[in-house]
Amino acid sequence: MPFSLDNRNGARLEVTAPATLPMAPYRPRRTQSLGVRSLAGWNVKIIGITSAGDLPGETELGAVLATIEDHLPQPARTPVRQGVAFVVVHQGTEALWVQLAWWELDILYQRVFRAEPGTTGLRRVPPGGPAACVWELLAIDHERRAWVAHVLERPDAPDLAGYLAETLTITAGTARPAARDRD
């Protein structure tokens, strides 16, 4: 359906949307916690996502942990003794994607890695490359909400254990994520 836009200079721009997008319709992907690991002075929440089939397994997780260990700041630059991070490991259709993210107060730092399908040779995505897909952004949003609730809204007594325990679970085909209830 075409429509027109006028800019401040009075120029008119005609916009036409394609009849269909060159992609499959959005469907929720299986997403769940793969636990918390201690790594290089950091507590790292691990979130697995899969486009179809199994969540990332121990082979993928071993490669992920070996890769991200070199990218976590040393020492952790947070006011807490041990750093708090999360990693999203997404078994996607075109690659194994890894989102490493860590908190420094109210700022999230992020590194993105990818490996070719069926491999675990993770390489850092260069600046200007993709940041995250819609499924990874759902997990990142969940982590932001949990961080606000357990840490930023409680500056006198941050609940890091509560943050680390809060998980996101989505079963393929569900319309909405089921987040673990907060204590």
- Share of residues in the chain with pLDDT > 70 (%): 83
Instruction: Report pLDDT for 154.
Output: 93
Rounded distance between C-alpha atoms, residue 21 and residue 25, angstroms: 9
| Assigned token pair, 183 | 């204590």
For position 74, what pLDDT does the model report?
A: 84
3-class state of residue 171 by DSSP: coil
170 DSSP 8-state letter: B
Q: What is the pLDDT of residue 135?
A: 96
As to burial, measured by CB atoms within 10 angstroms (0-12 exposed, 13-18 middle, 19+ buried), residue 27 is exposed
Average pLDDT over residues 93-122: 94
Over residues 149-169, the pLDDT tens digits come to 999 999 999 999 999 999 999
pLDDT of residue 2: 59
Closest CA to 31 of 123, 110, 137: 137
Span 134-147, average pLDDT: 97
More confident residue, 102 or 172: 102
Residue 86 has pLDDT above 90, yes or no: yes
Question: What is the helix, strand, coil percentage profile of the chain, to 5?
Answer: 20, 35, 45
pLDDT score recorded for residue 129: 93
Mean pLDDT for the chain?
A: 87
The burial of 169, by beta-carbon neighbours within 10 Å (0-12 exposed, 13-18 middle, 19 or more buried), is given as middle
What pLDDT is attached to residue 83?
86
Yes or no: say if 112 and 99 are a contact pair by the CB < 8 Å rule: yes
Which of 74, 68, 137, 77 lies closest to 103, judged by CA?
Answer: 77
**Predicted confidence band at 182 (pLDDT cuts at 50, 70, 90)?**
very low
Q: Which pLDDT value is given to residue 4?
A: 61
Residue partners of 151: CB distance under 8 A and separation at least 6: 103, 158, 159, 160, 163
The tokens for 128 are 């200007």
Its pTM stands at 0.82
Q: Is the Cα dihedral 107, 143, 109, 66 positive or negative? A: positive
Q: Which residues contact 128 (CB under 8 A, 6 or more apart)?
A: none
**pLDDT computed for residue 82 by the predictor:** 72
Q: What is the DSSP string of 5-18?
A: EE-TT--EEEEE--
Helices (H), the chain: 58-69, 134-147, 160-165
